[in-house]
Structure 1
Amino acid sequence: MRTALRPIVAACVAATALAGGAHAAEAATKIPTGFLTYENASARSAVEFGETRWKVSDARTAQLLVNPCGARKTADAGRVAARTVTSSGDNDAGNDEQLVLYRSEALARQAMKGIRDALATCKGASDAARTVRRGQAASIGDEALRVIVQSTLAEGPGGGERSVVARRGSALIIYRVHTTYDPAKTGFRRADFKRQEKDAKALAGKVCGLPGVC
C-alpha cells in the first residue's frame, strides 16, 4: 500500500510546486507602486494642461493606448501585468502612460507587430473625421515607433494623438499626448514627440530592473 501511494504523493508534491512556481512568477512580475513616471506628482505638474484629472489602473485587459483601428478588444496575448496612467484636462488634452509586461519577449514582439499591422490596415482617412494614422521607426529600447493618429477636417484644428511605443525585452512601453493639432500638419515633427521619447527612453532603462523582463 505504501509503495502504491508513492506516485500519488509525488504527483501532489509536483502539483504544489508548480502552483507555487506560478504564484511566484506572478509576484515577480508585479509592477511596483510608483514605478511609472506619471504616478508621481512632480512629473505630473510638468505636463498638466490646466485643471487635470489623473487615473491609475492595473487592469491587465486595458486596451493599448496606441490603438490605430479603434478596436474594442485587445489583440495581444500573454500579459502578466499592466499599468495605465491617463489624464484629461482643459480642452480634453492629456498625457498618458502605459507599461505592459508579457510572459515572453516573443509575445511582446507580437504585440508590436500587431500595432504595425493595425497602422497598415487603418492608415487611410476613410472615417467621418478623415483620420490619418501613420507610424515611423524610432531608436528606443529593442524596437520602437512614433505614431500619429490625427483628424484632418478642414474646418480648423482637430483632435489628434502623438505617441511613442517601445519594446524592451518582454515589456511594452507607451507614452501618448492627445490634444488639438493643425489638420494641415500631420507629418512627424520632432517637437511633437520630444517629451514622449524622453519618457520612453527613461522607462526603457528602468524595466530591465524588473525580474525576467530583459
Structure 2
Amino acid sequence: MIGVTLSLLLALSPAAVTEIPKNFLFTEREARVPLSPDDAAEQGYKISDRLTAPFELNPCGHRRAVDRGRTAARTISHWTTGPSESAEQLVLYRSPRAAHAALTGLRAEAARCARKGDPSAPALKIQWRTTKVKAGDEAMGMGYRTRQDGNVDQTVTGVVARRGSALIIYRTDEGDYDPGRLTKNARKMAVKVCGLPGVC
C-alpha cells in the first residue's frame, strides 16, 4: 500500500524543469538585442545555457560546476570598458533539497577559500566574505575584495538566493560591498521562478 501511495505521489508531482523559457531572466531581452559596432566596442553580453557552468560567485575558482542535481541553467554576463562586470544566473535543480545543498556548499566554500592568492600574481590577495540578507526561502550576500601591495584593487558584491528548487545569483563589481542593493532583483526573481512548474 505504501509503495502504491508513493507511486501515485510521484506521478502527480510536477516534473523538474529542464528548460528555462527564453527571456525569463531580467537582463535577457536587452542581452539579446544586437549591438551596433560602436556599442559592441564599449560593452557586451554573453548568454550561456551550459549546465556545467560554475557559479558566478565562485570562491574556490572552479572551472565547472561542482554541485549536483542541476536540470537547467542560464547565465548572463555583461561587461563594459569602464571597466565593469555584472552577471545574472539562474540554476534549477531536481528538488529543493538539491538547491539547498548547493547553497550550503557555496557558503562552505566562501569560508574555506576566504583568503587566497593568485599563483600568477603573488602580490594579489583575495578576501571573500558572506553576510545575511533576506530573499526567497534562504539567501546570503557574498563577495570579495582584492588587495595588491596593501591597497584595495577591486570589490565584487553578490547575492545568492534559493526559492524552492531554484538558485538565483546576482553579481556586480561596481561600488562598495553592499549585497542589500542586489536583493530587490533576487526577491523579484524568487517570485517569478514560482511560475515555473515544480519549482515551488
- TM-score, length-normalised on structure 2? 0.79
* 1:152 alignment counterpart: 147
Per-residue deviation, 1:194: 4.5
**Structure with the larger helix share:** 1
Contact residue 15 and residue 197 of structure 2 kept, 8 A: no
Give the Å deviation of 1:161: 1.3
Cα RMSD (Å)? 2.5
Counting only pairs closer than 5 Å after superposition, residues 49-198 of structure 1 correspond to structure 2 as 51-127=42-118, 128=122, 129-154=124-149, 156-179=151-174, 188=177, 192-198=178-184
CA offsets 1:72-131 (integer angstroms, 9 cap, x no match): 232100100000000111144111000000001110000001111101101125553111
Task: Name the structure where strand makes up a greater proportion of residues.
Answer: 2
Question: SS at 2:46's partner residue?
Answer: strand
Structure 2 gaps, min length 5? 1-10, 34-38
SS at match of 1:82: strand
Q: Secondary structure at the match of 1:35?
A: coil
Question: Contact between 1:56 and 1:85, CA under 8 Å: does it hold in 2?
Answer: yes
**1:41 shift after superposition:** 2.1
Q: Answer yes or no: is the 8 Å Cα contact 2:43–2:80 preserved in 1.
A: yes
Give 1:197 shift.
1.3
Aligned equivalent of 1:33: 22
Q: Distance in 2 between matches of 1:142 and 1:163?
A: 17
Letter in 2 for 1:212: G
Q: Is the 8 A contact 2:59 2:110 kept in 1?
A: yes
Q: Normalized against structure 1, the TM-score is what?
A: 0.74
SS of corresponding position for 1:197? helix
Q: Per-residue displacement from partner, 1:111-154 (whole Å, max 9, x unpaired)? A: 00111110110112555311100011211001111112110224
Aligned residue-pair number: 177
Indicate how the Cα distance of structure 1 residues 51 and 155 shifts in structure 2: closer, same or farther if over 3 A, else same. Answer: farther
Percent sequence identity is 41
Q: Secondary structure at the match of 1:37?
A: coil
Contact 2:133 2:180 in 1 (8 A): no
Closer, same or farther: CA 79–107 of 1 in aligned 2, 3 Å: same
- In the aligned structure 2, how far is the partner of 1:155 from the partner of 1:90? 25
| Secondary structure class of the residue paired with 2:60 | coil
Letter in 1 for 2:24: F
Deviation at 1:60, TM superposition (A): 0.7
* Cα contact 2:137–2:164 (8 A) shared by 1: yes
Q: Computing the radius of gyration over CA atoms, which structure comes out larger, 1 or 2? A: 1
Q: Deviations over 1:4-28 (max 9, x none)?
A: xxxxxxxxxxxxxxxxx9xx946x4
